[in-house]
Amino acid sequence: MYKITKPTLLLDKKKAIQNIKQMAAKAKASGVKYRPHFKTHFSKEIGEWYREQGVTSITVSSIDMAVYFASHGWKDITIAFPVNVLQIDVLKHLAKQVTLGLVVDSLDTMNLVHSEISDTVDIYIKIDTGYHRVGIWHENVAEVQALATAIKKPHKFKGLLAHFGHTYIETKKENITSIYNYGVKALNTLRNELSNDLIISIGDTPSCSIVENFKNIDEIRPGNLVFYDVMQTEIGSCGYDKIAVCLAAPVVAIYPDKSEVVVHAGAVHLSKDRLQDAAGQSYFGQVVELQEKSWSKPLEGCHVKSLSQEHGKITLSKDQMAKIKIGDVLGILPVHSCLTANLMKEYMTIRGEKIGTMNG
């Protein structure tokens, strides 16, 4: 096996491709477009794995990310984030290069897009169906209509876009399905009021993982599922066997009396995203054993108890404690793979191949 000497984000390419394939197949079976969100992996190389599955349209979360993927051959990019009008010059340029989708929920923004961008842009109106982060509340039909009226040539009112982000705090399939059904119904009701030419685009990995057949929608944009993570296992989107990234963390201190070890893996590697265990205790990742070109399932009684900037404190079971040595490397399945990938800036596949991202 390759040699780990410091915190390293391991990537099981086979699992990631399997996750992509599975969603691509599901989308195809339902007749919806799969426009994956690339904010999870940030990587031109990983982008190619999607291309091999027939994906040609993508979603990103920032204008800079759109520029990065446009420069690596992607020709159909939706920026699923409210338009940052201060970067309108960059958008003007992008609109000349690619089929650019912009998400809008305000008249001021739409007017600025009209006055500054002369090439056609696909406009999606962002609709809130319960997450309450961004978008126009789906029942405010008049507001949606007023905004729709402001979308004029050369731009195209392409569709209604929603993100059911409130699925991320659920842990029961029926609750996730119910959020999904409510959202899809709301979006269809709204489409009926506007125009049947509009597409309906939805996001969120939990819905897309749990719902078996997509009906009455046209496009799905899940991103996280390429890697999944511990949060998604808690939600019920996947099993541990589908998690495709694992932080390799050198053991730097051992405290048998406390059943604790300290690893070089802190908030600058994993992020401070956390979950709570059954006893209400926060934890920052699940501990696994690294194996030749793989890793184990989570070790029972072992978890990442606290993080500081560079330190990770791990509680180990008696069995694990008995065999651990300074200089061993433990694996940590991250709570939130998107933030971990952003911090780590590159991956190493379990075959020892380095994969870069837009961050490094």
Site string for its own copies, 245-264 (x = CB under 8 A): -----x-xxx---x---x-x
Kindly give the pairing relationship between strand 329-334 and strand 245-255: antiparallel
Instruction: Give Cα 118 to chain centroid, integer Å.
Output: 31
Between CA 74 and CA 81, with CA 76 as vertex, the angle to 5 degrees is 105
Q: Which stretch binds its own copies (CB under 8 A): 69-77, 170-178, 227-235, 267-275?
A: 267-275
Among 43, 57, 237, 271, binds its own copies (CB under 8 A): 271
Residue from 17, 24, 134, 194 binding its own copies (CB under 8 A): 134
Comparison of 233 and 357: residue with beta carbon closer to its own copies: 357
Report if residue 354 touches its own copies, rule: CB under 8 A: no
Of all residues in the chain, what percent are helix, strand and coil, respectively (each to 5)? Answer: 35, 25, 35
Site string for its own copies, 306-345 (x = CB under 8 A): x-xxxx-x-----------xxx-x--------xx--xx--
Q: Rounded distance, CA 240 to CA 229, Å?
A: 8
82: contact with its own copies by CB under 8 A: yes
Q: What letter represents residue 195's amino acid?
A: S
The DSSP element (H or E) to which 26 belongs, if any, is helix 13-30
Of residues 32 and 127, the one with the C-beta less far from its own copies: 127
Q: Which is nearer to its own copies, 320 or 337 (CB)?
A: 337
| Three-class secondary structure assignment of 188-228 | HHHHHHHCCCCEEEECCHHHHHHCCCCCCCCEECCCHHHCC
Q: Does 268 bind its own copies (CB under 8 A)?
A: yes
- Spatial contact of 232 and 209, defined as CB atoms under 8 Å apart: yes
Strands 136-137 and 156-162: unpaired
Interface contacts to its own copies, rule CB under 8 A: 4-6, 39, 61-64, 81-87, 105-106, 108-109, 112, 132-134, 165, 250, 252-254, 258, 262, 264, 267-268, 271-274, 306, 308-311, 313, 325-327, 329, 338-339, 342-343, 359-360
